[in-house]
Amino acid sequence: MGYDEAMITLTPNTPSLLPCIHREYDLSVYKSTITTEWDLVCERRAMYSTTQAATQIGKLAGFFLLGYILDVYGRRRTVLVCSLLYILTAFGMCFSINIWMFTILKVFVSSADAGVYLGCFVTQMETCISKDRLLPESPRWLVLQGRYDEALKVLKQAAYMNGNVPPSDGTILTAMHTIYKKEPSTKTRTGLVKILYDYTAILRFKKMRMRTLIIFGCWFTCALVYYGVSLNATNLSTDVYLYIFLGGLLEVPSYILLWPAIALFGRVKSLAGLFFICGVSILIVACIIFFLPEAPVWIATLLSLLGKMAITAAFHLVWLFTAELFPTYYRSIAIGDASVCGRIGSTISPYINDILGEKVVWAPSLLFGIVSLLSGVLSFLLPETRGQNMPETSDFDQAKGGRDNKVFAIESPEIKRQQQ
């Protein structure tokens, strides 16, 4: 029914708003989308936002559960299982017959992807092995499980691949046993009690509580702002294709420039600075939309992309920073729980843009800017970790950020002579 036909049917008692019984879509730009296939407009608009949020819900569930599984069952086994699950559910999503099947499978795909990413990231941080080798188990995790022989094998292989001469087996095994004895035993706890104990450990330990809460807030901000700004092209009234293209393109220099920044200024100052740059840029965008709605679109677009560039680098840095702040036994759980906080932020970002942005077009930018500035201030309360070793146990020096353990930096007499 077109507009003219609809006007003819109106009577004095007809309500001002009527539900649509049939819709015709403009297919000149998009030939087929989930919006047109499953009619995700008008009263079903929230379902469209839910399909976007499904990716983040899956990552939230994946990081929350798999952070614990990685620490209990090992990095390698978990990554392989998640890889298989990812392949199966991704193919299944292609054959979805309705919006609910599509959304549910999208959650499983994202959960499996989170497991693969988290497992590989933690293993890389703990081994720093050559990229052309097969994925081994983390020696740090093996030590804390009391599996010294397997850890010794991985370390000797890494030393061989890197062209180094390892210390004697006795020296390494003694160091491993020292680490194992320092970690508080949880073997007396089993089942659900052990799971709850491990999940809450980073908040129960006084040395880790404050940094945990701040890191959780930083993750929430990074995900909320990153995905919010990335999907905010409609509220800026700019070209969607150009905005997405430039946003992706600018992520390359954001990663490249991050490394000299953290080498020069350290983790804390770099993270805080990135939050401030993002916050100021996005707040200016909100002011332009509110006070100067007739201003050229490219100004707000440029500032928004500058903010996205900064939050992209901050998001990348917070992964590295989190791994450096927590001891081995709780590292995956810490990253997993922090990622959950991040996924809460990224889950609500589509609703902020689609629903809040439809009511008050400048409100999403204002919200993203304020949250970024708050996280920048809180970042200064975190300990600096530049140039310090990864913490092995929960018994670490709080003043130094838990980075004074050098067990995995043992040098043999042969290496010392080579360096001299």
Q: What is the pLDDT of residues 9-22, one digit of tens each?
A: 656 665 566 666 66
Output the pLDDT for position 420.
Answer: 41
Longest dimension (CA), the chain: 97
Task: Work out whether the CA dihedral 52, 364, 225, 379 comes out positive or negative.
Answer: negative
Highest mean pLDDT among 23-37, 162-176, 326-340, 355-369: 355-369
pTM: 0.67
CA atoms within 13 A on the CB side of 113: 15
Percent of the chain with pLDDT over 70: 77
Output the pLDDT for position 6.
Answer: 59
Averaged pLDDT for residues 159-181 = 77
Length of the chain as a residue count: 420
Cα distance between residue 14 and residue 148, in whole Å: 79
Q: Is the pLDDT of residue 312 over 90?
A: yes
The yes/no answer on whether domain 200-409 falls in CATH 1.20.1250.20 is yes
Q: Is the pLDDT of residue 263 over 60?
A: yes
The whole-chain average pLDDT of the chain stands at 79
Q: What is the pLDDT of residues 113-155, one digit of tens each?
A: 988 888 887 777 766 543 444 556 667 667 777 777 888 887 8
Q: Is the pLDDT of residue 373 over 90?
A: yes
Q: Cβ atoms within 10 A of the Cβ of 263, count?
A: 11
Percent of the chain with pLDDT over 90: 28
Q: Is the pLDDT of residue 191 over 70?
A: no
Using CA atoms of 403, 404, 409, 415 in order, give the dihedral in degrees to the nearest 10.
Answer: 130
Q: Is the pLDDT of residue 359 over 80?
A: yes
**Contact present, 12 and 318 (Cβ < 8 Å):** no
Cα distance between residue 162 and residue 141, in whole Å: 21
Output the pLDDT for position 412.
Answer: 37
Q: Sorting pLDDT into bands at 50, 70 and 90, what band is 399? A: very low
Q: Domain residues of the chain, as ranges?
A: 27-124, 128-182, 200-409
Cα distance between residue 331 and residue 125, in whole Å: 10
Averaged pLDDT for residues 396-411 = 40
Alpha carbon distances (Å) from 134 to 77, 80, 147: 13, 12, 20
